[in-house]
Amino acid sequence: MQHVSPIREPLVTGGKTYHDITEDVCRQVEAKPNVRWAAALAVALVGLAIFIYSVYRTLWYGIGEWGLNKTVGWAWDITNFVWWVGIGHAGTLISAILLLFRQKWRTSINRAAEAMTIFAVICAAMFPVLHMGRPWLAYWVLPLPNTFGSLWVNFNSPLLWDVFAISTYFSVSLVFWYIGLIPDFATIRDRATGPIARRAYAVLSFGWTGSAKAWSRYETVSLILAGLATPLVLSVHTIVSMDFATSVIPGWHTTIFPPYFVAGAIFSGFAMVLTLMIITRKVFFLEHYITLEHVESMNKVIILTGSIVGVAYTTEFFIAWYSGVEYEQYAFINRAFGPYWWAYWSMMTCNVITPQLFWFRKIRRSLTATFIISIFVNIGMWFERFVIIVTSLHRDYLPSSWAMFSPTMIDIGVYVGTIGLFFTLFLLFTKFFPVVNMAEVKSILKSSSEVNAHHGKAATMHATDKDLNSNTHRNE
Amino acid sequence: MQDRIKYWKGIEELENAPEFEKHAHNEFPEFLPVNELEGGESSNGKTRRRDFLKLLGFSMAAVSLASCEAPVRKAIPYLNKPVDVEPGVANWYASTFYLNGDYNSILVKTREGRPIKIEPNPSSGLTPLGTSPKAQGSLMGLYDNNRLRFPLIAGKEAKWEDVDKQIKSRLANVSGKVAFVSSTIISPSTKRLIDEFGSRFGNFEHVTYDANSASALLQANGGVIPGYDFSKANIIVGINADFLGTWVAPVPFAKQYIQTRKVDADNPSMSRHYQFETMLSLTGSNADVRVPIKPSEEAAFVTALHNAVTGQGASSGSAADAKVMAAVVKDLQANRGKALVVCGSNDPGIQAMVKAINTALGAEGTTIDTAAPYFVKQGNDAAMIRLIEEMNAGSVGAVFFFNANPAYNHPLAARVVSGLKKVGLKVSFADRVEETAKFADFVTPDHHYLESWNDFEPKRGYISLSQPVISPIFTTRQMQDSLLVWSDQQTNFYEYMRNNWRSVASGDFNKFWEKAVHDGVLENGTSMLQVSTSTATASTSVRKIQPAGVEAVLYEKVSIGTGEMINNPWLQELPDPVSKATWGNYVAVPRLMAEEMQVVQGDVLKVTFANNESIELPALIQPGQANGTVAIAMGYGRDLEAMPVANGLGANAYPIATVADNAVLYTSGVKLEKTNATSPIAQTQTHHTIMDRIVVQENTLAKYKENPKEVTKYIRLATHEGPAKPATISLWDDYEYKNHHWGMVIDLNSCIGCGSCTMSCNVENNIPVVGKAEVLNRREMHWMRIDRYYSAKEHEEKDYAEMEHPADNPSVIFQPMLCQHCNHAPCETVCPVAATMHSSEGINQMVYNRCVGTRYCANNCPYKVRRFNWFAYANNDKFGFNETMNNDLGKMVLNPDVTVRTRGVMEKCSFCVQRVQLGKLEAKRENRRPQDGDIVTACAQSCPTEAIVFGDMKNPESRISKILARQQGERAFHVLEELNTQPNVTYLTKIRNLA
């Protein structure tokens, strides 16, 4: 039993009972598709179509369909890759690290955040394959025994580390997410009326019985997976950053990259979670589960990581000056004042300035403001990767090779297309899977839910002795 | 005799069991028991489930395997192997490339009967070292699909017999003058043949004209070009003469020029080169002192120089800065007998004055070999102009055009066209229907020079030969053979030429001839060429050019020349050495003028010529261009079916050339107007200054003489033990080279930036041409490029915005840049599949088969020398102009030793690994070690100035080892040494002899 401070805001509002939770969460799974959901899916499918077309052009004609050139060998492809991987950080962070730190507020958002992680990593993983000149040989980056004369991969290459990091992260996240889903699938299975739904959810729930033993194992596995996933949250973006940090290109060759990338990833991940949650809670009427309290907590994480990122940007400049390396100095001056100044200043505005508004409690608790700022952060973090990749490459060592990069329609199509893919997956998820972890929310209901108004007490206060929903020990 | 030993298939055969006999005739006795009844099972006659699955599995596998089979391509082997042709072994034949003054004695490398590479002929005294880019590119002309495949009568396909019959009958009845119009012919036998051919007619004239004429130079020097020898000159003054790029005989001149430009600590002396010119030419880029002058100031300048040097006349004012002028005069006077002044003007008065200057300087007999003049330009402007008037007057009965296209490239092109209509018989020997051949009654296509016998005498006493290296691809016929047929001679040109050579032979003729053909050159002082020396001597009176509006000059682009080889995709994509622009011409505008007109690069300008015709071309801001002038390259603006590669590129700027007093001037006033259109210029380099980085190093001769150890800046890293050489601080283990360690030294003092190495590399390594759109996308594939940097305008330290702008009259430095074959290569560590790795001989290797195309290596290459195959460039209709890979004829030029790369893989300089391997194998076969010089990369081989030396750094006796030993700590440096990439390519600091 734990102690909950009487002045702490409740995590579940509206005086929900266990049954209410089940009803609220299962509603959209069991009911007919919501019109707004269907409209959103239609838009997402258009995005998916754009993705398929752009990928077809890329695969059929070659990478030349993109705007890359002899000087800028990566641009939107790897920008998108890092951006999506970054977004894919929040889910596991929320479920793993917050689980270890016993942050109960995570329970209502971890499911959707983990789903987002998985879909974002799927989008991200497209790019390392798509950006290859010969993607049909992508399996050569795996250390598979082969008949090509004992050819082996190059373990020195950070790209290879990426392969391991991303695939490990993806599998652990997927397992973690799925394990969490099992009890909820069982709930839906038990409630299902149609034969197809019953059979499907029966299969998905792996025959969950809900016995005490099962629950005990469930919690142990969750804890173990959280332990496994926690270092991964830090390692994935660390390794992604090494693609750049281990190179010799000024603007890439920077030792600050690993922590800076991890902070940036959490920053962008939380922003994306907010963007999605604010919409989802509205569309599926989950305001009582995903409360302003949650939004505010995430906004606090955003201020923290946004400030870390801001400090990192400044540090890069300082080190460039302090190192005395002319190439490094030029790379950073060129970022801020060169031909791509607009990308740099977009990044600075979106990532460093806008999140600072969250110091104001009012803004932090305003859904509209949060939504807008979360979009800003998403844009800013995309620009951050663009700035790092393109502005470093386009003017590196020999001025003779300096060049500009401009994207083609196919570049844009692939990027917009992955957003379409992401939302298609996410919308399908929200329709067919429980978006809130019912089982875990129920576990905090007694300790941290709001008293129903008709019980007589002010809604803002926490449970009193009279309240059946509370089992908190308290001496009054 | 015992019977053959019998082996049984098994015990059943030995026993001869009935069961065995039943199946003995079956090769595979155990069939899948489908539909077969066996034992008591499945008595219902149906296939059993397992058998069905077996069969299903087998057929699936069989079908999918069958579909995997690659289509069979038939290769037909030699039924009777020709002598000397070994499949896989190359043969070399001596030959000669000559086009509009560009003379190269060459060796043609052939594989299985196909010429695949042009290499310099080391036996030649004139051009033993390298070739011009045009000579390299001329190979593609042989495999040009757009050449005429048959003769034409009135534009229709015809048979040679019909052509001959008709031409002969029409020649028999010709009335009026018979004219043979050609560009300069330096073939003694051809000239004789033409004269003999003409002797049958009462009124015959062989009119020679050059699209870029040196008529005035010839006039001032008695019909020949003085035997300039730049190697003997301490002071060189060039006046609008691009003698390293396009003027007269650039390849021999470059070889001479560079002899006095190479320095080392033992011999720290070099010539000083002043250049006064309107546009920034390749030659001007190499000058120690360069002064921009307008064409209208040229006369005054030459007069001033003349007066100052000879001491005659009043010292008149000159456009050039008085200080520079004083320095030039002082230097010239101090170096009498060791000075040379050359001028590209086509004004006879100016050329006469230049001759007087050279005479006064005692150049004749020293820096001008009076006994051995050049014959590479013989065009007579006056004669051509006269002929055009005669044609218009109707007094010309027949005209032949050989390597001459006056309807396109003569200033009076319109008069040529109108005149042609009045000529009874017009015959063109053009290899395709070009502007003049369009009007011809007969087009009797000549062979490509690689299909022809010919002789050449570019300079008195230097004779060379060309020989066919492939049998004619199309039903073309050599011009000389046509003339022989039409004059009813029973011989062919080969015999004719041999007969002609008997006069200079000594000893057994067959032996003499064989040796001459084998060597390709005959340089024992005999001369065979007759040139007309009956030109009127020019007076030194100078015509005043009145500056009219914007002064425009017409110039030859180094790769395109006067436009004969415009349909050559290789040459189109070879960047201009100075502007780095490819695929088309443009208006080179000085910065000041552009700012006045508010024009930025790529804005289309309307250029109105003196004759009120106008063209539209994009502007290119050209530093070094004299203010108030523009320059436009000739050769472009073609709209012909037979030139698909060049169609739609640029515009025809020939109207800049004007006729005055029977001479062609390549400059005139034009009107410039800004239009609203823009048209991007495809440049391979768009950033032009060095940004104060020490990636390329230069210093002055004075400093070098003072202390050769201080001319190069060596990067040192700060450590706690004091400054250290970057290579001494390393995370990596060094490679150990046990056998060879290949390396390259590039002398920046010797590199003139001509681009021969780039061209040669393209040909040797099957590098695709990607076209204008892809060059604009910055995706050209050149493995070897020449970086050209202009000095920046004056700026504060670290004022990055300012230093991006080139100075208005910049000093220029060229830096050939290729894979540096780093010993600690950044590319090698980042490839996830180890597709690029280090060889045991120091070569950074690219394994195309293994490459998956992540481009990480290219990103991590600090030298940006890696090239990615963005598209499939071979067998792709979108890249049809890349003729070397997209049609069966063009593909014959491919080097069979080098893979054609597929889409999606990275490629880069391999140090010509195919040549390295060949050299090692040859040595191994002869049971010796490869000797220095056995193995030469294509770039080093083609360099006319020996700027590139390739060799084994493990061999202490090799040239490269000796150069490195001598230059270590003086001029030898590595680019970006501080990165500790430890390149195997070393550069030598450029030394300028500043006044």
Q: What is the pLDDT of residues B673-694, one digit of tens each?
A: 999 999 999 999 999 999 888 8
CATH of the domain at A373: 1.20.1630.10
pLDDT tens readout for residues B516-525: 899 998 888 8
Provide mean pLDDT across the span A92-104. 78
Q: A134 and B851 in contact by Cβ < 8 A?
A: yes
Cross-chain CB nearest to B868 (options A73, A141, A160): A73
Provide mean pLDDT across the span B807-832. 92
Taking CA atoms, what residue in A is nearest to B852?
A: A134
Q: Which of residues 72-101 of A touch B (CB under 8 A)?
A: 73-74
Which of these ranges, A375-379, B221-225, B572-576, has the smallest mean pLDDT?
B221-225
B293 pLDDT more than 50: yes
Q: Which of residues 407-446 of A touch B (CB under 8 A)?
A: none
Which chain B residues are closer than 8 Å to A167 by Cβ? none
Which residue of B733, B777, B976 to mutate against A (max A Cβ within 10 Å)?
B777
How many whole angstroms separate alpha carbon B735 and alpha carbon B814?
31
Cross-chain CB nearest to B685 (options A151, A158, A400): A400
How many whole angstroms separate alpha carbon B298 and alpha carbon A456?
105
Any domain includes A465 = no
Binned at pLDDT 50, 70 and 90, residue A475 comes out as very low
Binned at pLDDT 50, 70 and 90, residue A458 comes out as very low
- Residues ≥6 apart with Cβ < 8 Å to A66: A58, A75, A76, A77, A407, A408, A410, A411, A414
The answer to whether B436 and B486 are in contact (CB under 8 A) is no
Residue B26 is predicted with a pLDDT of: 67
Residue B862 is predicted with a pLDDT of: 94
Any domain includes A360 = yes
Which residue of B856, B857, B882, B903 to mutate against A (max A Cβ within 10 Å)?
B856
Of the candidates B281, B247, B893, which has an alpha carbon nearest to the alpha carbon of residue B569? B893
Any domain includes A463 = no
Any domain includes A1 = no
A261 pLDDT more than 50: yes
CA–CA min distance A448, chain B (Å):
50
Within A195-291, residue ranges assigned H as helices are 195-204, 212-245, 257-283
Residue A7 is predicted with a pLDDT of: 63
Sheet strand arrangement including B102-111: B90-99, B102-111, B114-120
Residue A140 in contact with partner chain B when CB distance is under 8 A: yes
B590 pLDDT more than 90: yes
Q: A62 and B869 in contact by Cβ < 8 A?
A: yes
Residue count of chain A, please give it.
476
Any domain includes A12 = no
* ipTM confidence: 0.89
Cross-chain CB nearest to B862 (options A246, A334, A397): A397
Residue A473 is predicted with a pLDDT of: 42
Q: Which residue has the tokens 């309240």?
A: A467
Cross-chain CB nearest to A133 (options B690, B815, B903): B903
Residue B12 is predicted with a pLDDT of: 73
Cross-chain CB nearest to A403 (options B778, B855, B859): B778
Q: B829 and A154 in contact by Cβ < 8 A?
A: yes
Binned at pLDDT 50, 70 and 90, residue B71 comes out as low
B41 pLDDT more than 80: no
Which residue of A146, A252, A325, A401 to mutate against B (max B Cβ within 10 Å)?
A401
B702 pLDDT more than 80: yes
Task: Give the DSSP letter string of A406-433.
Answer: ---HHHHHHHHHHHHHHHHHHHHHHHHS
Q: Please state whether B915 falls in left (phi above 0), alpha (psi between -120 and 50) or beta.
A: alpha
Cross-chain CB nearest to A140 (options B687, B833, B975): B833
Give the distance, in angstroms, between the CA of residue B339 and the centroid of all CA atoms in the same chain.
Answer: 30
Instruction: Supply the range of the domain harboring residue A124.
Output: 18-457
Mean pLDDT, rounded, of chain B: 88
CA–CA min distance A339, chain B (Å):
11
- % of chain B with per-residue pLDDT over 90: 44
Reading the block at residue A395, the tokens are: 């003017």
Any domain includes A6 = no
Provide mean pLDDT across the span B422-445. 90
The answer to whether B409 and B654 are in contact (CB under 8 A) is yes
- % of chain B with per-residue pLDDT over 70: 94
Residue A327 in contact with partner chain B when CB distance is under 8 A: yes
pLDDT tens readout for residues A147-162: 777 688 899 899 999 8
Provide mean pLDDT across the span B255-271. 88
Q: What is the pairing mode between strands B985-988 and B812-817?
A: unpaired
Q: B862 and A163 in contact by Cβ < 8 A?
A: no
Which residue of A77, A398, A402 to mutate against B (max B Cβ within 10 Å)?
A398
Binned at pLDDT 50, 70 and 90, residue B94 comes out as very high
A304 pLDDT more than 90: yes
Q: A73 and B855 in contact by Cβ < 8 A?
A: yes
Taking CA atoms, what residue in B is nearest to A128?
A: B854
In total, how many domains does chain A have?
1
Of the candidates B229, B183, B220, which has an alpha carbon nearest to the alpha carbon of residue B533? B220
pLDDT tens readout for residues B455-486: 999 998 899 999 999 989 999 999 999 999 98
A457 pLDDT more than 80: no
- Residues ≥6 apart with Cβ < 8 Å to B459: B126, B227, B249, B252, B372, B373, B374, B375, B376
pLDDT tens readout for residues B1-30: 556 777 777 777 777 777 767 766 666 655
Q: B870 and A160 in contact by Cβ < 8 A?
A: no
Which chain B residues are closer than 8 Å to A69 by Cβ? 777-779
Residue A248 in contact with partner chain B when CB distance is under 8 A: yes
Binned at pLDDT 50, 70 and 90, residue A476 comes out as very low
Mean pLDDT, rounded, of chain A: 85
Binned at pLDDT 50, 70 and 90, residue B112 comes out as confident
Provide mean pLDDT across the span B341-347. 89
Binned at pLDDT 50, 70 and 90, residue B280 comes out as very high
Residue B648 is predicted with a pLDDT of: 87
Reading the block at residue A438, the tokens are: 């019912």
Give the distance, in angstroms, between the CA of residue B768 and the centroid of all CA atoms in the same chain.
Answer: 15
Which chain A residues are closer than 8 Å to B780 by Cβ? 70
How many whole angstroms separate alpha carbon B664 and alpha carbon B388?
14
B732 pLDDT more than 90: no
CA–CA min distance A327, chain B (Å):
8
Q: A248 and B979 in contact by Cβ < 8 A?
A: yes
Cross-chain CB nearest to A402 (options B686, B695, B788): B686
How many whole angstroms separate alpha carbon B952 and alpha carbon B740?
6
Residue B8 is predicted with a pLDDT of: 74
B787 pLDDT more than 70: yes
Q: B834 and A141 in contact by Cβ < 8 A?
A: no
Residue A406 in contact with partner chain B when CB distance is under 8 A: no
Provide mean pLDDT across the span B870-882. 89
Which chain B residues are closer than 8 Å to A159 by Cβ? 830-832, 854, 856
DSSP A387: I
Binned at pLDDT 50, 70 and 90, residue B612 comes out as confident
DSSP B879: G
The answer to whether A429 and A119 are in contact (CB under 8 A) is yes
B724 pLDDT more than 80: yes
Residue A328 in contact with partner chain B when CB distance is under 8 A: no
A460 pLDDT more than 60: no
Taking CA atoms, what residue in B is nearest to A63?
A: B870
